[in-house]
Amino acid sequence: MKRRLDKATRARLDAQARVMKALAHPTRLFIVEELSRGERCVCELTEMVGADISTVSKHLAQLRVVGLVQDEKRGTQVYYSLRCACALGFFNCIDEVLQSVARQHAEVINA
């Protein structure tokens, strides 16, 4: 019997894709990487990223709604932290892919 993309599978994939999409932006990857070292407030991240604070705030909101990070308000500042350390595993795999591509590229050039 043929596998097919049924409604339930589709719903699961939609949810998974939403999480992937939240990670699919250089600034948000930077934020995740930085948060893996410890919590940071919005203004710290804003300074590091070098974009408008409203832009950074929106990136953080995207990571938050999918559950990758959590926020905690202390005084006038909001501190964000990673909720799932496993997100860092992504970097390893992605780097593996990129290195594999680089190797292949080199082969083609040397061929």
Footprint on this chain of a second copy (rule: CB under 8 A): 2-5, 9-10, 13-17, 19-21, 23-30, 34, 47-50, 66-68, 83-84, 86-87, 89-98, 100-101, 104
* Residue 71 interface partner, choices a second copy, DNA, none, CB cut-off 5-8 Å depending on type: DNA
Which residue number, 25 or 58, has a Cβ lying nearer to a second copy? 25
* Residue 78 interface partner, choices DNA, a second copy, none, CB cut-off 5-8 Å depending on type: DNA
DSSP string covering 81-98, please?
Answer: EES-TTHHHHHHHHHHHH
Task: Give which of 7, 24, 106 is closest to 68, Cα–Cα.
Answer: 24
> Least distance in Å: CB of 110 to DNA?
24
* Residue 47 interface partner, choices DNA, a second copy, none, CB cut-off 5-8 Å depending on type: a second copy
Which residue number, 7 or 110, has a Cβ lying nearer to DNA? 7
Alpha carbons 107 and 36: distance in angstroms, whole number: 35
* Residue 53 interface partner, choices a second copy, DNA, none, CB cut-off 5-8 Å depending on type: DNA
Name 82's bridge partners: 69
| Identity of the amino acid at 107 | E
Alpha carbons 111 and 107: distance in angstroms, whole number: 6
| Identity of the amino acid at 106 | A
